[in-house]
Chain A
Amino acid sequence: MMKKIVILGGGVGGTVVANQVARAMTTEMKSGAIAVTVITESTQHIYQPMFLYLAFDRVVPAEAKKPERELLDRHIKIVTGIADRIDPESKQVRMTDGTAVPYDYLVIATGSRPAPEQVAGLSEGGHMFYTEESALKLRQALHDFHGGRIVITVGVPHKCPVAPLEFTFMVQEWAQSQGIADQTEIVYTYPIGRLHSLEPVAQWAEPVFAARHIEPHIFFNPELVDPVKKTITSLEGEVLDYDLLVAIPPHMGQDVIGRSGLGDAGQWIPTHRTSLQMEGSEDVFVLGDATNLPISKAGSTAHFEADVVASNLVNLLQGGLGSMRYDGKVFCFIETGLTKATYITFDYVHPPKPTEPTEMIHMFKLAYNRLYWLTPAGLL
């Protein structure tokens, strides 16, 4: 009898799982013993880190996307549409068009979405770079900016924990490159009591902020934006003026998780931290931003988790016990401006140790932006 593996989500995590399973089980897929289906809302696969560079006019939107079909093994079926409900009882994903996709194993890789609406006035008064549309608006705002006070603010939880620092360093060097550094103030806010959640990164950033005259405000959780007066107020009661407000917005899990009753109040799915099984389930796996795990919401997290989920799926389909475990591994490049970068790697047990930024790491990051397409293809 055919075993059906369904992957909900065509981002990096879902695509890696699909391709790795397909590659390991080509014979079974050809014979009809196994079917792999990816359900995705868009025919395009988006490489979201490009949006940071898009805001600075370093790349154009076409460089951030490719057709998902081209990235997937040809034996994998794609269903393009919106999932309405996941039903673990009847083991199917019901689509908004009334069709249903049954599964034996389900992988939920639905990611997260920016939720600027959670901060009153932020959508009207602030910018972000987490979608193509918003990054293009920010690109225009930066193009039209000729000096003033740029405030960077950070919602919780958010995707890509190094983005606040990266944008700050990049916009500071961008102002220099535009010849407007003398007329520009850069103000950085952060939700907790240091410059970054990772203590070694925060310690490293402190002297860099001082040297670049970046003004830090810690314990600042955005609560209210007044787009007319151009002020932002924190939950802790501090008020800052801005001329240009750039937010790392708070994020939420996808609405299909809420509709299915599978998530917590933020629509994050309770997930076992090492097996990556949905709590209370043996045939549903969750990876990437969709989980409630206390780890970075980042493409690399989804990628490392996808390796574990794919290995376990293949093992289970071959009669094994699926006992590979995820160790919490995360890897992030950190752009420290427009010409240098560093990187960090850590897991549940080992803290990160940032190294001195170099031009070489920056060049490698730019190269990876082009090599990225090998990752969802399951090759890198």
Chain B
Amino acid sequence: MVDNVKIVDARGSFCPGPLMELIKGIRQEPVGTVLEVWSSDAGSAKDIPEWVKRAGQELVSSEQEVDVFKIRVKKIK
């Protein structure tokens, strides 16, 4: 049960793009926040997990709903 999920609606975002929108959210929100990025770019399913790993954050889930990718990331530090 996650009680504090922030939606980051980055559909149609070519610039700054879904990953940059996620980084903005991680920078702004307190530790413990779960961010759910909505992206219409298939590349997000690869580049978001890659950054999450490098940044030491936690990938919670990654799903595709029709043409929208929904990727949940928890800020753990």
Number of A-B contacts defined by CB within 8 Å: 78
| C-alpha spacing A118/B28, complex, angstroms | 10
Q: Is the CB of A294 within 8 A of B13?
A: yes
Q: Does B34 contact A (CB under 8 A)?
A: no
Given A264-B28, A266-B24, decide whether A161 and B16 contact each other with a Cβ distance below 8 A.
Answer: yes
Name the interface residues of A268-311: CB closer than 8 Å to any CB of B: 273, 294-296
Contact check: which of A157, A191, A351 meets B14 at CB < 8 Å?
A: A351
Q: Does B1 contact A (CB under 8 A)?
A: no
Q: Is the CB of A328 within 8 A of B27?
A: no
Contact check: which of B8, B15, B27, B28 meets A197 at CB < 8 Å?
A: B15
Q: Is the CB of A197 within 8 A of B54?
A: no
Q: Is the CB of A156 within 8 A of B12?
A: no
Given A118-B27, A235-B55, decide whether A349 and B20 contact each other with a Cβ distance below 8 A.
Answer: no
Name the interface residues of A249-270: CB closer than 8 Å to any CB of B: 250, 264-266
CB distance from A218 to the nearest CB of B (A): 10
Q: Is the CB of B47 within 8 A of A294?
A: no
If over half of A's interface residues share one DSSP class (helix, strand or loop), that class is named, otherwise mixed; here it is: loop
CB distance from A351 to the nearest CB of B (A): 5
Inside 8 A of B10's CB, which chain A residues have their CB?
294
Q: Does A366 contact B (CB under 8 A)?
A: no
Q: Is the CB of A199 within 8 A of B43?
A: yes
Which size bracket describes the interface of B in this complex?
20 to 34
Q: Is the CB of A193 within 8 A of B51?
A: yes
Contact check: which of A118, A193, A199, A295 meets B13 at CB < 8 Å?
A: A295
Residue of A nearest to B33 (CB): A265
Interface centre among A197, A236, A266 (most CB of B within 10 A): A197
Q: Does A352 contact B (CB under 8 A)?
A: yes
CB distance from A295 to the nearest CB of B (A): 6
Which size bracket describes the interface of A in this complex?
20 to 34
Residue of A nearest to B57 (CB): A235
Residue interface bits A195-208, CB-to-B below 8 A is 1, else 0: 00111000000000
Q: Does A348 contact B (CB under 8 A)?
A: yes
CB distance from B9 to the nearest CB of A (A): 7
Residue of A nearest to B8 (CB): A294
Q: Does A368 contact B (CB under 8 A)?
A: no
| C-alpha spacing A118/B26, complex, angstroms | 13
Inside 8 A of A347's CB, which chain B residues have their CB?
12
Inside 8 A of A295's CB, which chain B residues have their CB?
13, 15-16
Q: Does A141 contact B (CB under 8 A)?
A: no
Q: Does A192 contact B (CB under 8 A)?
A: yes
| C-alpha spacing A50/B56, complex, angstroms | 38
Known: A197-B20, A346-B15, A352-B14. 17 other contacts (CB 8 A): A156-B20, A156-B24, A191-B20, A192-B17, A192-B19, A193-B19, A197-B16, A197-B19, A219-B54, A221-B23, A236-B54, A266-B28, A294-B8, A294-B11, A295-B13, A347-B12, A348-B11
Q: Which 4 A-B pairs have the closest CB atoms?
A: A348-B12, A294-B13, A265-B28, A197-B17
